[in-house]
Amino acid sequence: MIVVTGATGNVGRPLVRALVAAGEQVTAVSRSVSAADVPAGVRHLRADVADPEQLKPALDGADTLFLLTSGDFVLAGGDVHGVLDAAKTGGVRRVVLLSSQGVGSLRHPPAYEEAVKRSGLEWTVLRPGGFGSNAYLWADAVRASRTVAAPFGDVALPVIDPDDIAAVAARTLREAGHGGATYVLTGPAPVSPRQQAAAIGDAIGEPVRFVEQTEEEARTQLLTFMPERVVEATLAILGSPSPDEQRVSPDAERVIGRPPRTFAEWAARNADAFK
């Protein structure tokens, strides 16, 4: 049994689908999960990952855990040690942690990764860069006025399609040979916010105007739904990325056996959200 936390999110949803398609037994865990959110036949549990006690029914009898430590988990003071202890008590032997590329560049504290590595479980760490799906933040403005507002308009980063993160996660959860590995996951090429706006315009068949925000305007917007320390780290990456954060990683292609998708492909597949 594989337990997937964050099962209704941008990575969790395609991950659950991929695991089910591969014939795996899956328990889907999310604070908002319902029968409509997961494929037929998938066991689902509504629980807050930040509270290990709520997770115990899902972990009992499981052997593998996909652990997502989101901004909400950080904001709630999530107890990753408690989650890992509950996992071991339930019988879990392997954990795949969805971390962040910012850990590798020391933008984010590596505490969660260190906890997983010292847990006694077989572990794999996934460090994605920026998600292509972060562009959903612009959807209302694109629908209303065909505009995208973002800071650092010409700073390019190799954002990754969440479906590709899910594809890597599915392989590492199901296959042997990934224990002790840390994979940095990026898209195939750097793309700037201005270029992303143009790609969304191409996807919907209408021009989308790019408006450059100040850093303070972006900070104010992000603070409405992200913890302050995550906002500051995010703005630092977006505005002054390190060479490592701008570098395209080969890890996704090595694991899934094909190149990761471009942002333009993500935008074309999700064009309805912006129309």
Q: Is the pLDDT of residue 170 over 90?
A: yes
Q: What is the mean pLDDT of the chain?
A: 90
Q: Which of 40, 53, 44, 60 is nearest to 7 (CA)?
A: 44
- For residue 239, what pLDDT is reported? 94
CA angle 80, 61, 85 (to 5 degrees): 25
- For residue 103, what pLDDT is reported? 59
User: What's the rounded mean pLDDT across residues 3-10?
Assistant: 91
CA 159 to CA 131: how far, in whole Å? 5
Q: What is the pLDDT of residues 205-229, one digit of tens each?
A: 999 999 999 999 999 998 988 778 7
Is 58 exposed, middle or buried (CB count within 10 Å of its CB: 0-12, 13-18, 19+)? Answer: buried
- For residue 76, what pLDDT is reported? 58
- For residue 106, what pLDDT is reported? 47
User: What's the rounded mean pLDDT across residues 17-23?
Assistant: 95
User: What's the rounded mean pLDDT across residues 2-26?
Assistant: 93
Q: What is the pLDDT of residues 75-113, one digit of tens each?
A: 656 678 888 999 999 999 999 999 887 655 445 556 788
Q: What is the pLDDT of residues 105-121, one digit of tens each?
A: 445 556 788 899 999 99
With cut-offs at 50, 70 and 90, classify the pLDDT of residue 268: very high
- For residue 78, what pLDDT is reported? 67
Question: Any residues with CB less than 8 A from the CB of 241 and at least 6 apart, and which?
Answer: 155, 157
With cut-offs at 50, 70 and 90, classify the pLDDT of residue 35: low
Q: Is the pLDDT of residue 122 over 50?
A: yes
Q: Which of 14, 61, 23 is nearest to 169 (CA)?
A: 14
The two structure tokens encoding residue 164: 């590709």
